[in-house]
Amino acid sequence: MSVQLNETHHPALRSWVVSANDGKTDFPIQNLPFGVFRRAGSSEHFRIGVAIGDQILDLTLAQQVGVFSTIMDARLAHALGASQLNALMDLGNATASAIRAALSHALREGAPAQAGLQPTLVAQADAEYALPAQIGDYTDFYTSVHHATSVGKLFRPDNPLLPNYKWVPIGYHGRSSSIGVSGQQFRRPIGQTMPPNASTPSFGPAKRMDYECEVGVFIGQGNTLGDAIAMDEAEQHVFGLCLLNDWSARDVQGWEYQPLGPFLAKNFASTISPWVVTLEALAPYRKAWARDAADPQPLPYLDNANLRDTGAFDIELEVLLQTEKMRQEGMPAQRLSLSNFAHSYWTVAQMVTHHTVNGCNLRAGDFLGSGTQSGPAPEEAGSLLELTEGGKKPIVFANGEQRIFIEDGDSIIMRGWAQKEGAPRIGFGEVEGRLLPARSL
């Protein structure tokens, strides 16, 4: 799990793709995240690309002009020509690192490959995206102690955290079939709820619609059924990270979640960003991870020296909301919160290790959610449930509109980026999703 810096991270690197050098883009040459795209509105096959500035480099075309000639073999050729990232993920992080190094050289200012690659670039504004990988299984965790405490206080003021929270990374098995890429639109879900002071549940559209600001984790190489992934090896099984909005129907959730946890309140839609940022690209933005001395320390299988030194990721997480009225009047989305993934109580490596400690087998393309990422300050809350204190404190926007929960026509936009002194800013792009009216009953 040790952090390895190499020449691809050098802050002085510049690209012949001019938009990659402006200091504002999420995608400088030091990033090079992977995704799946095609020209918008076309009948082209989806293909694997890498984001550079405001452009996309098609890896199939890069292969044809010899960018990967020194590392090419039959398995890599097959993986680069696929329409999803699963085969590439399954080749392991050493292969992904070699691809990233080759792309870094080919995209640098003065690179001989420019003449062959420049005509093949596709503007991101002219592209549409698919899910980066076929997601076989999806597990959502609950790694923010600030979120768990805030939500717990709404229902259990005297005992907000359950006794297992600080000992074990809590998770549940989610629904992969309803995960969509940024731009996803979905209808307000319908289900059972129990109104306050009622004796019988009602059936109809959910009323308390919410978002959850999360970080998504794509698994690379998996493990064999019956084997476990140790902490020292955990991040070698992670291909990269993305942004995740795990939409939630809070009133449905409150009625159904006992005794087996989330079900229909969560499985109607989850939206992820199209670009997967590798752990290698994020290496300069690692931070020390610490557990409060007054809290239980992780059991030995969830602890090691590297965890303490560099286990956290310094990733800013921003959430914005745009109402239908804002859109019609040309107003930009309004910020709801700003938090950081470094606040997480449980780390990426701990999630992977705990998931497999019982012998569970992960596979390339499997997906983990971090759970809602909230910070210690009220304005760092990662959901409306927290920001509005359970619906008691409306959020008022610049145009006078108010929100307690999400209304029909609202879009939620999430952004994430990492930056620090002496290193360029890199980001994830954004993930946007929109709530539509419920279907007719």
Q: Which residues are catalytic?
A: 147
b/e per residue 159-182 (b: at least 16 CB within 10 A): ebeeeebbeebbbbebbbebbbbb
| Sign of the dihedral defined by the CA atoms of residues 247, 250, 251, 252, in that order | positive
Contact indicator for 247, 211 with CB cutoff of 8 Å: yes
CA dihedral 325, 328, 333, 334 (to 10 degrees): -40
CA dist 179 and 41 (Å) reads 21
CA dist 116 and 112 (Å) reads 8
Contact indicator for 189, 252 with CB cutoff of 8 Å: yes
What is the chain's percent helix, strand, coil content, to nearest 5? Answer: 25, 25, 50
b/e per residue 24-43 (b: at least 16 CB within 10 A): ebbbbbbbbbbbbbbeeeee
Determine the length of the chain.
441
Pairing between β-strand 122-123 and β-strand 316-322 as defined by DSSP bridges: unpaired
Contact indicator for 276, 240 with CB cutoff of 8 Å: yes
Long-range CB contacts (< 8 A, 24+ apart) of 389-394? 389/154, 390/154, 391/208
CB-based contacts of 330, cutoff 8 Å, min separation 6: none
Token couple for 22: 């402006």
Tokens 């019609």 correspond to 328
Token couple for 181: 């890429």
